[in-house]
Amino acid sequence: MKIRTLITSFNLLFFFVNGVSQNNDSVTIRKLYDYYLTNSNCYSNLNFLTTKIGGRLSGSQQAKNAVEWAKKAMYSAGADTVILQPCMVPHWERGKKEICRLQSNALKLNFLLNCVALGSSVGTGKLGVTAKVIEIKNFEELEHLGEKIIKGNIVFYNVFFDQTKIRTGNAYGETVKYRSRGASMAAKYGAVASLVRSMTSVADNEPHTGNMNYDTSICKVKIPSLAISYIAANKLVESLEKDNKLTVYIETHCQTLNDEPSFNVVGQINGSEKINEFIIAGGHLDSWDNGQGAHDDGAGVVQTIEIISAFKKLGIKPKHNIRAVAFMNEENGLAGGKAYAQYAQSHQEKHIAALETDAGGFTPRSFGVDTIKGLYRLAASWKNLFSPYLIDKIEKVGGGADISPLKELGVPCIGFEPDTQRYFDIHHTAADTFDKINKRELELGAGGIGALIYLIDKYY
Amino acid sequence: MKIRTLITSFNLLFFFVNGVSQNNDSVTIRKLYDYYLTNSNCYSNLNFLTTKIGGRLSGSQQAKNAVEWAKKAMYSAGADTVILQPCMVPHWERGKKEICRLQSNALKLNFLLNCVALGSSVGTGKLGVTAKVIEIKNFEELEHLGEKIIKGNIVFYNVFFDQTKIRTGNAYGETVKYRSRGASMAAKYGAVASLVRSMTSVADNEPHTGNMNYDTSICKVKIPSLAISYIAANKLVESLEKDNKLTVYIETHCQTLNDEPSFNVVGQINGSEKINEFIIAGGHLDSWDNGQGAHDDGAGVVQTIEIISAFKKLGIKPKHNIRAVAFMNEENGLAGGKAYAQYAQSHQEKHIAALETDAGGFTPRSFGVDTIKGLYRLAASWKNLFSPYLIDKIEKVGGGADISPLKELGVPCIGFEPDTQRYFDIHHTAADTFDKINKRELELGAGGIGALIYLIDKYY
């Protein structure tokens, strides 16, 4: 009985201390959300970044402007210091608007297909490319058809998003290989160009760009590669069914110039106790050129800058150094993510956790947290603190592209996941614009991120 | 030890049986979602209802058209029978576009404020009303100022949405009394008209209508009542600060005509075992006239009709009678909700559960379920079945306006709650249109509702 009483007392004490602690935390978190929902600069910052600077592909003047803007925005937010971390980034330019024209004498058809060149693709130049089209469902089919069928033709990867995937990112993950490797795979069998059905969850006429890679281990020849819209892909399929000898004329003027110097922009609140320990949260500053990079990933940039404002305005003095990182070159190279990890290593900075927000400024749903070094277990214990704020899940395994080099160094990583339903409707399109942002959704995401960083700093 | 072993075995057995059962259910639920996400008619039905029929206020020709459409849509979905339940509904008409003009000689201002008459309001007629404006923060202030200040003037309820409320419905709940009772309260002190700041979560120029009631127990005089947009309200406040003698001219041509006969439309799948027991799920067919009634509540109507299609196409034969109910007159009278409950009583139909979906076609988040008769406890046991489909919460206390008369009869009620962040941006405005609907979000909501009805039928 004595031992039992002792255990019970201990449990009660633990419960009490824990209860009081969680109560204090819930008060602070409530204050954070009140700030985010009524006084934050997320929305106005994003308005400026997207509508005044606009699309900001690595190497472009807009990307340079975005670096300048981020530095100012971080100082305005109250950063103790802002670091510009240099990195060399690719400089690919789209050039004149792409043309993709379907032509069928048999069907008396001659019309444009909505298209966009894929990032890193070579251009056709002004002479363009005209060829017949071979529709392909997957790489196995491509290999099966082989050079005999493919050579001299345009390969068209007609692969749909799997709409039954509840989280749209899973559908994207299945199809994106046709965008990234499709050109080299097609070139291997002698194709003169490759087209891909846009990776999209909506049946509309927006073509979705995104990066592709020439994999010289597959084929040394570089062929032009484009995405066509969902509707354009349907039209092409329908026309091919009636006339498999139809041709498509492609004209693109994209080119890869010399690499350019650029920067990650890192805003820091200095820690009061752990002066060489760092907790970072970041999004990426670069975006595709065809839209405004609002959800991808202006949202992530402004959400993480806002951590600085929130902590400063509420007088939260973190133990660790807290950094908001605006990574450069996530879209077509990851130079910024790699440079960040190298900087951390060369400066012998101890990173205890890294969060990335790069899934849009939608209503928050969950955090994915790495299980290593106890971070997941700790974060899961805060579930009740997040539940009132629409973050209902703390899931195992976290990360993001920009922080993946840190993950390789053993840093526990966290991915912020908002609602995913609308993201791939506009992802990498001209429609990824500021008007697609809902202010409250953006701010609620920022609130969740800010609250998580606050708790990690306090308890980890 | 023996007892312990027995308990363990029992637990294992329970776990096994329960596990197998949940496994079967998860297979069926997966099939339901696959259907909803790839083959359902939710989106095309909603397209027709909103863009071909449009806004459909009770008593209007469009509401009549909507009844005809719903009947056909339910038969097309495979309903065994479709019942038209008669009810008499109010017939209020907006008439010519409202005018609300701010006039200040001192400030040399003369401009229109975006406005919309509130449902059930009397009109000013073509002579209009011109008066000074008294800004009011709450009813206490109104009472404090009293007849001396209020008489002969226009009362302007300048009450903001509380943006710190995480669920926007809570902010709406706090402010809606100024829309519903504000006119009678103002008239009590001699006001000649009342204006209300739109109940909105976004700072834009859309005025939000909604019903108001003349409470003759407060005042017998009926004065015109309008909502002005958030931006118009800000302009009015700014102008009043500089010139509190400015006037506003109001002209509205709304009128209340004789009540009209109308109907709830009830599509039924006949139960195989419990031939006098009913599970219903409904939305409301009527909508405000100024928009298309897409989120409010075309979405709920098409989601619940889809239960019929889904069950029929997947060969799910329910034990109980399952009904999709398109309620009439939720917006300005609840005649349909009352008529449904009366019909159930007079036909001695035993209703075991009623669900309402009237919070928009957004990504699902939770169900609110009544604790009476064990329904909440049962539903909570299905949490793991819903978690993969983004429904992370089963909460206590459920309901909805249309099913509230059933609730009074002791029927356990359920409210479907999707994400609430965007709902009050467009609620009761001209912007509640089909283009605001995301197909997948709508279908995921329908899937959750269909799955819940399936489980209730099977286990309750």
With cut-offs at 50, 70 and 90, classify the pLDDT of residue B8.
very low
Q: What's the pLDDT score for residue A228?
A: 98
Nearest to B153 by CA among B131, B186, B185: B131
H or E stretch including B395?
strand B393-396
As a whole-number percent, the residues of chain B with pLDDT over 90 amount to 95
> Which residues of chain A are within 8 Å of residue B363 when distances are taken between CB atoms?
363, 419, 421
**Between chain A and chain B, how many beta carbons pairs sit less than 8 Å apart?**
61
Please state which architecture CATH assigns to domain B95-253.
Answer: 3-Layer(bba) Sandwich (3.50)
- Residues of chain A with Cβ-Cβ distance to B438 below 8 Å are 421-422, 425
What pLDDT, on the 0 to 100 scale, is given for residue A22?
73
Q: What pLDDT, on the 0 to 100 scale, is given for residue A23? A: 84
How far apart are the C-alpha atoms of B139 and B65, rounded to whole Å? 41
Q: How confident is the model at residue A19 (pLDDT cuts 50, 70, 90)?
A: low
CB atoms A444 and B421 under 8 Å = yes
Instruction: Using an 8 Å CB-CB cutoff, list chain B residues near A166.
Output: 33, 388-390, 444
Region of poorest pLDDT, from B18-32, B76-90, B393-407: B18-32
- Please tell me if residue B168 touches chain A, with a CB cutoff of 8 Å: yes
Residue A133: which of A182, A192, A180, A89 has the closest Cα?
A192
Among B163, B362, B420, B434, the residue to mutate for chain A (most A Cβ within 10 A): B163
Q: Which amino acid is at A53?
A: I
B200 to chain A, minimum CA–CA distance in Å? 12
- List the single residue in A with minimal CA-CA distance to B442: A421
User: Are A441 and B422 a contacting pair at CB < 8 A?
Assistant: yes
Q: Best residue in A33, A386, A421, A424 to probe B by mutation, most B CBs within 10 Å?
A: A421
Reported confidence tier of residue B1, pLDDT bands at 50, 70, 90: very low
What is the side-by-side order of every strand in the sheet holding B129-136?
A: B109-112, B99-104, B247-251, B129-136, B154-157, B193-197, B225-228, B115-117
In SS3 terms, chain A reads as CHHHHHHHHHHHHHHHHHHHHHHHHHHHHHHHHHHHHHCCCHHHHHHHHHHHHCCCCCCCHHHHHHHHHHHHHHHHHCCCEEEEEEEEEEEEECCCCCEEEEEECCCCEEEECCEEECECCCCCCCCCEEEEEEEECCHHHHHHHHHHHHCCCEEEECCCCCCCCCCHHHHHHHHHHHHHCHHHHHHHCCCCEEEEECCCCCCCCCCCCCECCCCCCCCCCCCCEEEECHHHHHHHHHHHHHCCCCEEEEECCCEEEEEEEEEEEEEEECCCCEEEEEEEEEEECCCCCCCCCHHHHHHHHHHHHHHHHHHHHHCCCCCEEEEEEEECCCCCCCHHHHHHHHHHHHCCCEEEEEEECCCCCCCEEEEEECCHHHHHHHHHCCHHHHHHHCCCEEEECCCCCCCHHHHHCCCCEEEEEECCCCHHHHCCCCCCCHHHCCHHHHHHHHHHHHHHHHHHHHHC
d(CA B119, CA B256): 9
Which residue from A388, A419, A421 is facing B166, i.e. has the nearest CB? A388
For residue range A414-440, list pLDDT tens digits in order: 999 999 999 999 999 999 999 999 999
pLDDT band at A15 (very low <50, low <70, confident <90, very high): very low
CA distance A421 to chain B (A): 7
* Average of per-residue pLDDT across A301-317: 98
Domain B28-92+258-459 falls under CATH 3.60.15.10: no
Mean pLDDT for the stretch of residues B67-82: 98
Q: Is the pLDDT of residue A173 over 80?
A: yes
Instruction: Name the residue with higher pLDDT: B96 or A2.
Output: B96
Nearest-CA distance A143 → chain B (Å): 30
Interface probe for B, chosen from A26, A44, A390 (most Cβ of B below 10 Å), is: A390
**Residue B365, helix vs strand vs coil:** strand
Q: Which of A189, A234, A180 is nearest to A210 (CA)?
A: A180
* pLDDT greater than 80 at residue B273: yes
Q: Convert the pLDDT of each residue in B339-376 to its tens digit.
A: 999 999 999 999 999 999 999 999 999 999 999 999 99
Which of A33, A390, A439 has the CB atom closest to B164's CB atom? A33
> For chain A, where do the domains classified as CATH 3.40.630.10 start and end?
28-90+258-459
Q: At what angle do helices A439-459 and A299-314 cross, to 10 degrees?
A: 60
Asked whether residue B14 carries a pLDDT value surpassing 80, the answer given is no
Considering the segment(s) A28-90+258-459 as one domain, its CATH architecture is 3-Layer(aba) Sandwich (3.40)
Confidence band of B19 (pLDDT split at 50, 70, 90)? low
Confidence of residue B18 (pLDDT cuts 50, 70, 90): low
Cα Dmax for chain B:
94
Whole-angstrom distance, CA of residue B198 vs CA of residue B232:
9
Q: Is the pLDDT of residue A305 over 50?
A: yes
Question: Token pair for residue B377?
Answer: 């406890």
Q: How many CB atoms lie within 10 A of CB B220?
A: 11
Which residues on B lie below 8 Å from A387 (Cβ)? 393
Between residues 384 and 413 of chain A, which touch chain B (CB distance below 8 Å)? 387-390, 392-393
**Residues on chain A touching B390 (C-beta within 8 angstroms):** 166, 365, 419
Q: How far from each other are the two terminal CA atoms of chain B, in whole angstroms? A: 36
Cβ of A164 within 8 Å of Cβ of B441? The answer is: no
ipTM score assigned to the predicted complex = 0.94
Residue A1 pLDDT exceeds 70: no
- The whole-angstrom separation of Cα A63 and Cα B217 is 65
Q: Determine contact: B417 vs chain A, CB below 8 A.
A: no
pLDDT above 50 for B15: no
Going by their DSSP bridges, the two strands B247-251 and B129-136 should be labelled as antiparallel
DSSP-derived 3-state class of residue B411: coil
Residue in chain B closest to A365 (alpha carbons) equals B390
> A142, A220, A456: which is closest to A319 by C-alpha?
A456
pTM (whole model) above 0.90: yes
Q: Residues of CATH 3.50.30.30 domain(s) within chain B?
A: 95-253
Min CA distance, A380 vs chain B (Å)? Answer: 15
CB-CB under 8 Å, A393 with B393: no
Q: What is the pLDDT of residues A246-297, one digit of tens each?
A: 999 999 999 999 999 999 999 999 999 999 999 999 999 999 999 999 999 9
Helix (H, G, I), strand (E, B) or coil at B143: helix
Query: Cβ contact (<8 Å) for A390 and B34?
Result: no
pLDDT-derived band of residue B20, with 50, 70 and 90 as boundaries?
low
Q: Kindly report the number of other CB atoms within 10 A of residue A442's CB atom.
A: 29
**Across the interface, do B168 and A388 touch by the CB < 8 Å criterion?**
no
Residue A48 has pLDDT above 70, yes or no: yes
Instruction: Quote the minimal CA–CA distance from B209 to chain A in Å.
Output: 22
pLDDT surpassing 80 at residue A55: yes
In a 3-state reduction of DSSP, which class is residue B213? coil
Which of A166, A392, A440 has the CB atom closest to B201's CB atom?
A440
Nearest to B163 among A38, A365, A392 (CB): A38
Residues of chain B with CATH 3.40.630.10: 28-92+258-459
pLDDT for residue A2: 44
Q: Does A440 touch chain B (CB under 8 A)?
A: yes
User: Each residue of B105-128: pLDDT tens digit?
Assistant: 999 999 999 999 999 999 999 999
CB contact under 8 A, A440 and B419: no
Could you give the percent of chain B with pLDDT greater than 70? 96
Q: Is A365 on the interface with B (CB under 8 A)?
A: yes
**Distance between the two ends of chain A, CA-based, in angstroms?**
36
d(CA B150, CA B138): 14
Q: Are A447 and A269 spatial neighbours (Cβ–Cβ below 8 Å)? A: no
CA separation for the pair A437, A430 (Å, rounded): 14
Average pLDDT, chain B: 95
Whole-number pLDDT of residue A265: 98
**What are the pLDDT digits (tens) for A26-43?**
999 999 999 999 999 999
pLDDT tens for each residue of A344-353: 999 999 999 9
| Percent of chain A whose predicted confidence (pLDDT) is above 70 | 96
How sure is the predictor about B2, in pLDDT bands with cuts at 50, 70 and 90? very low
Amino acid at B118: L
In 3D space, the residue among B404, B398, B369, B391 whose CA is nearest the CA of residue B451 turns out to be B391
- Among B273, B289, B158, B153, which Cα is nearest to B223's? B153
